[in-house]
Amino acid sequence: MSRLPQWVGGLGAGLTRFAQRLDERKAQTSGTADASGEAPAPTPADMSASSDTRGSSGTPTSSGAGVPSGTAGAAAGQAPVGGLAVSEHEHVPPPPGYAPSVAPRPDPVAAVPWGVRVAAEVAWRLLILAASLWVLMRMISAVQLVVLAFVAALLITALLQPTVALLRRHGVPRGLATAMTFISGFVIMGLVCWFVVWQVTENLDDLTENVQHGITELKTWLLNSPFHVTEDQINNIADNLSKAIGTNTKDITSAGIEGVTVILEVLTGILLAMFSTLFLLYDGPKIWGWLLKLFPAAARDGVAGAGPRAWATLTAYVRGTVIVALIDAIFIGIGLFFLDVPMAVPLAVFIFLFAFIPLVGAVVSGALAVVVALVTRDMFTATMVLAVVLAVQQIEGHVLQPFILGRAVRVHPLAVVLSVAAGSLMAGIGGAVVAVPLVAVTNTVVGYLRAYARENALRTAAGESSPEAAGQNVPAGSAGPPGEGRG
C-alpha cells in the first residue's frame, strides 16, 4: 500500500508530459498553417480535449493550462509523430498560391494555312460530286437500253413536235394530230431503213465480185510496187488470215449468237422509243408539269424558265442536223452517182445517218465511200470521191451549220470531240449520237440558271433598298402591298 501513491504520481507525471508534447505538436502545426495561409486541421487530441472540457465545465479551456513554461520550452525542439522525431528544419514547404504562366495552345483551325483550308473544302465537295456522278453512271449503265430508248424518243419528239403544233394551229384535234404525225414519221423512217437493206442485198453480189477484183489488182500492184513484196509473202498473209478465221470459228459463232441478242435488244429499244414518242407527243405539257412538281418550290421558277429554253435548243439541234445531213447525203450521193461508184444510194443513206454523229460521223462515212470507190473502181475514182467528200464537208462546216443552227446550238469543237468520245466509250454508237445534244442542252440550262440567279440577286437587293426610299414619300397609314386599294 505504501507504493500506491508513488505509482499514481508517476502516472500523473507521464500524462502531463504526454499532454505537453501534444500541445507542442499543435503549436508547431498552427505555425505551419499560419505561414501557408490555411487553418490547421483539428487533431484527435484537440477534439477529445474540447469535448472533455465542454462536458465538465461547459466552457472551452486551453489544453496547456497549468503546464510550466520550462517544460514546454524544453520540448519545443522535437515533436513525436507516429513514434518518430521530426526536426522543424525538415518540413516540406507549402505550394505557391499562384499558378505558373503557361502559354495556351493555338486553335487547330487557325494553325492550318488559309490555302490548305480552301483546298480541303473544295476537295471534299469534289469527292462528293464524283461519287454522286459515279453512282449515277452505274445506275444508267444498269438500265442503258431504257435510257437510250428514251433519249432517242426525245430526239424524235423534237423532230416531230413542230408538225403536231402546225396541225393543232389548223384546227386538228390533239389526238388526231399526234396519231397522224406519229404514224407518218415512223413509216418514213421504216421505209428509209428498208430501202437501205434492199439496196445492200441487191448489190451484194456485185460488191463481192468487185472486192475480189480489187484484191487481185491490189496484189498485182504490190508485186510491181517499189516495196519489193514477193508473191510468197502475200500468200503467207492469206494463209495466216485463213488459219486465224479457222481457229477463231468458235469466237465467230459466239459473236453470231451475241449478234442475235443485239438484234433483240435493238428491237426492244425501238419499241420503247416508239411508245415513249407517242406519249411525249400527246402529253408532253402534262409530263413537264408533273416533273416541275418534283423540284423544291424555291427552285421551281428557275427550272420552269430553263425547261422551254432547253427544249428549244434540242429542237433547233435536231432540225438543223437533219437538214445538214440531208444536204450532205444528196450532194455526196450525186457525186458518187456521176463517178459510177456502186451502191451510190445506200452510201448516201449511210452518210445521212452518220451525220448525226458530229465530226466523227462525217469522217467515217466519207472514208467508207472512198474505200468502196478504191476497191470497186480505181485510184483516180477514189481520189475524186475524196475531193467531193471534202468539198461538201467544208461547205457544211463553214456555211450550212452556222446558217442553219445559228446561235441556238453553240458548242466548242473541243467539247464536241470530247463529248462524242466519252459517249461512245460509255454507250457505243447511241452514246455518240446523244452526247452532243446533251452537252448543248446542258450549256443552255446552265447559262440560263446563272443569269436567273444573278437577276434574282439584283432584284432582292433592290427590294431591300426600296422600302427605305419609298417610306420617305409614303404618308402615314397608307402602307400596304403595291397596287392594293387602287381603283
Nine-digit cell string for 97: 498560391
Residues in Cβ contact with 216 at an 8 Å cutoff, skipping those fewer than 6 apart = none
Of 418, 410, 401, 414, the C-alpha closest to 442 is 410
Task: Give residue for cell 500492184.
Answer: 221
C-alpha cell at 271: 419499241
Per-residue pLDDT of the chain (487 residues; tens, 9 = 90+): 556 667 767 777 777 777 778 788 777 777 665 555 544 445 444 444 444 444 444 444 444 444 444 444 444 444 444 444 445 556 666 666 665 666 677 777 777 888 888 898 999 999 999 999 899 888 888 888 888 888 889 989 988 988 888 998 988 898 899 999 999 988 988 888 888 778 777 777 776 777 677 677 777 777 777 766 777 777 777 677 666 655 555 554 555 556 567 788 888 888 998 999 999 999 888 898 898 888 888 888 888 888 888 888 888 888 888 888 888 888 988 988 888 887 788 888 888 888 888 777 888 888 888 888 887 777 888 889 899 988 988 887 777 777 776 665 677 778 878 888 888 887 777 778 888 888 888 888 888 888 888 888 888 888 766 555 444 444 443 333 344 443 3
Q: Are strands 80-81 and 84-85 parallel, antiparallel or unpaired?
A: antiparallel
Q: If you search the block for the grid coordinates 421505209, which residue do you land on?
A: 191
Which runs of consecutive H residues, i.e. helices, occur in 44-173? 44-56, 69-74, 108-111, 114-142, 144-169
From the list 178, 137, 150, the residue with the least C-alpha distance to 281 is 178
Angstrom CA distances, 270 to 154, 179, 202, 266, 472, stand at 13, 18, 26, 6, 67
SS3 for 84? strand
- Write the DSSP symbol of residue 40: P
In sequence order, the β-bridge partners of residue 80 are 85
> For residues 192 and 322, is the Cβ–Cβ distance under 8 A?
no
CA angle 466, 467, 472 (to 5 degrees): 105
Give the SS3 label for residue 81: strand
d(CA 332, CA 349): 10
- Contact yes or no for 433/361 (Cβ under 8 A): no
Q: Which of 314, 308, 270 is nearest to 291 (CA)?
A: 308
**Global pTM value:** 0.60
